A and B are shown apart, each in its own frame.
Chain A
C-alpha cells in the first residue's frame, strides 16, 4: 500500500512539474522550434528584453493584476464586514448574490460583460474596451472571492474581543483599526493573493473585455499557439515561474519567522 502511495505521489509530481520543466528547458534551447535540444543559449532572454511589445504585454498584465487586487481587496473586505456585522433588509439576498460570480462559468461572465460594455458604448457613446474594462470585469467577480475568504476568517473571530474593546472605551473606528483588522489580516492577505493569482493568469474574462492596446500575456500566449509559441514566450514564462516560486518561498520564510 505504501509503495503504491509512493508511486502515485511520484506520478503526481511528474505530471505536475514535467510540463513546467519542459518550458524552462525550451527557454534555453538554441532551436527556435522546440522538440529537439540544440544546445544552451541565453539568446531568447536577450531578445525578450529587446522586444518592447512582449514587455508591454507583461506590463499590462501586472498593472491589471495589481490594480484589481487593490480594489477587489478593499471592496471585498468592506463587503464582508458589512454583511457580517449588520442586519439589514436584503442581507440574505446579498449573501446569495455573493456566490453567483463564483459559480457562474467564466465564459458566461465574459460574454455578459462584453454585451454590457457594448451596450454602454452604444448608449453613452464613449465606453471603449481597454485595460479599464478588463479591470472592471475582474473586480466584479473577484471582490466576491475576497469577501468569501474574509467572511470565513471573520467567523473565527470571537465577538467577545470586540465587545471587550468597546467596554474599554474604544469607538467603532478604533475597534476596527486596533482589534478587528489585525485579527482579519491573514484573511485579507489570503483574499488579496487569491485575487492576484486569479487575475494575473485569467484568460476568459480578459479575452472578452480586452480592447486595442490592452493585450495581456495570457492573451498573447493563446494567440501564439496557432503559429507556434516563440522561445521568447518560454523565457517570459520561466521568469514568471521563477518570480512566483520566489514569492512562495519568501512567504514561507516570513511565516516561519513568526
Chain B
C-alpha cells in the first residue's frame, strides 16, 4: 500500500514538467479539444473543475495561483483578479491568433484591450418558453413582473445579479443600477413575481422543469436552451425587448503559473478557428472568434438566440463589479427570498 503512495507522489512529480493545469467549469470544454492539444504538444492536460466563480477565486487566493496555469473566470472577475495580483498581463506577441477575434472582442469593456484575458465563449440571459404552453407572445420581462402579462407557470433564476438585473431592466434602468430607490422598486416587482411564479431555480434545474412541462416560462441562459432545441423543438429562447444580460467567460494565465509557455500555447490554441468552433458547437454558446464562423454547426450559425442581431445586441448589458453597492443587492435579495 505504501508503495502505491510513494508511486503516486513520484508520478505526480515526474509528470509535473509536461503538463498544463487547467481550472474550468465542469463539462465546459470538449474532450476532443483537450486530446488535440495533448497530441500536438505532447503535454498532459490536468483538468480540475469548480462549481462557482466564488469557489474558484477562493482556491486561487489560497495559493492555487501557483498551482494552476490557466483559469476560466467570468468576465466581471477578470479585473478583480488582476487587481489582486492573481493573474498576469498577457504578452500579445505570444498570441498570434488574437487577430481572429471579432472586433467587439478586441477591446471588451470587462478587460480593455484584452490585457489580462482572452474571451472563451459568450452568451446572453433572457427568457426561455415552451411555445405550446404559453398563451400569447413572449417578448418582455412582463411575463414575470406584470400580473397582466402572466402567460403561464414561470421560474426565475436563482442568481442575485441576474434576477435583480432582470427586474431593473424591466423598469428601464441599468443592470448595474445602485440607486436605492430603484432597487426598492425592483424588490417589490420580485416579491410579486415570486408569488405568481413557481419560485427560483438554478439554470439547469429551470431547464429540466421546462422540459418536464412543470414550468412554461423560465429565466434562462441562452446556451442551456439552444443546446436542447434539437431534442425539444417547441422550446424557444428570446432576449426581452427591454434588454438582457450579455456575459463572456474569459481565459487567463495565473501570475505564478508553473508552465507559462504551455499556457500561452493553450490560449493561442483556443483562438484557432476550428478549435473555437468545436468548443462553441459543444456548448451551444456563441464564439468570440470571428474566424470560427464557417466551422459552426448550422443550428448555431444562423440562430438569433446564439448570435443576436445588432438591434438586440445594443440592448444587452454586462454585469459589472459595483463595489460596495453589492450590499444593497444582498439586502434586496435576502428580503425577496424571505418573503
Contacts and interface: CB of A to CB of B under 8 A. Distances in A.
B211 A35 contact: yes
Interface string B264-308: 000000000000000000000000000000000000000000000
A133 to B, nearest CB: 11
A129 interface: yes
Most buried by A among B4, B52, B228: B228
Contact of A226 (B9, B26, B67): B26
A130 B45 CA distance: 16
Nearest to A132: B9
B8 A36 contact: no
B67 A212 contact: yes
User: Interface size bucket, B side?
Assistant: 35 or more
B231 A31 contact: yes
A91 interface: no
B4 A128 contact: no
A35 B25 contact: no
Interface string B225-239: 001100110000000
Contacts of B169: none
Contact of B211 (A36, A71, A129): A36
The secondary-structure label for the interface of chain A is: loop
Contacts of A50: 31
Contact of A67 (B4, B63, B204): B4
B25 A223 contact: yes
B1 A226 contact: no
A51 interface: yes
A48 to B, nearest CB: 10
A222 B51 contact: yes
B5 A67 contact: yes
B258 to A, nearest CB: 9
A55 to B, nearest CB: 11
B48 interface: yes
B208 interface: yes
B25 A70 contact: no
A212 B48 contact: yes
Contacts of A52: 31, 35
B74 to A, nearest CB: 12
A213 interface: yes
B337 to A, nearest CB: 19
- Majority secondary structure of chain B interface residues (helix, strand, loop or mixed): mixed
Contact of A63 (B8, B62, B208, B212): B8
Given A53-B34, A212-B67, A219-B49, A225 B204 contact: yes
Given A33-B227, A227-B26, A131 B67 contact: no
A226 B19 CA distance: 27
Contacts of A215: 47-49
A177 interface: no
A53 B12 contact: no
Nearest to A59: B8
B28 A227 contact: yes
Given A33-B227, A130-B12, A223 B51 contact: yes
Given A33-B211, A212-B68, A215-B48, A227 B27 contact: yes
Contact of B48 (A63, A66, A135, A213): A213
A131 B63 contact: no
Nearest to B32: A50
B50 A223 contact: yes
Interface string A41-59: 0000001001111000000
Interface of B: 1, 4-5, 8-9, 12, 19, 21, 23, 25-28, 31, 34-35, 45-52, 62-64, 67-68, 202-204, 207-208, 211-212, 224, 227-228, 231-232
Interface of A: 31-36, 38, 47, 50-53, 63, 66-67, 70-71, 114, 118, 121, 128-132, 135, 210-215, 219-220, 222-228, 230
Which 3 pairs across A and B sit closest by C-beta, in order of nearness?
A223-B49, A223-B26, A70-B1
20 contacts: A33-B207, A33-B208, A33-B227, A33-B228, A35-B208, A36-B211, A53-B47, A66-B4, A67-B5, A71-B1, A118-B63, A132-B5, A132-B9, A212-B23, A212-B46, A213-B19, A220-B26, A226-B202, A228-B27, A228-B224
Given A53-B47, A211-B67, A230-B27, 14 more contacts: A34-B208, A38-B231, A63-B8, A66-B1, A66-B4, A118-B63, A129-B63, A212-B67, A213-B21, A214-B48, A224-B26, A224-B27, A227-B25, A228-B204
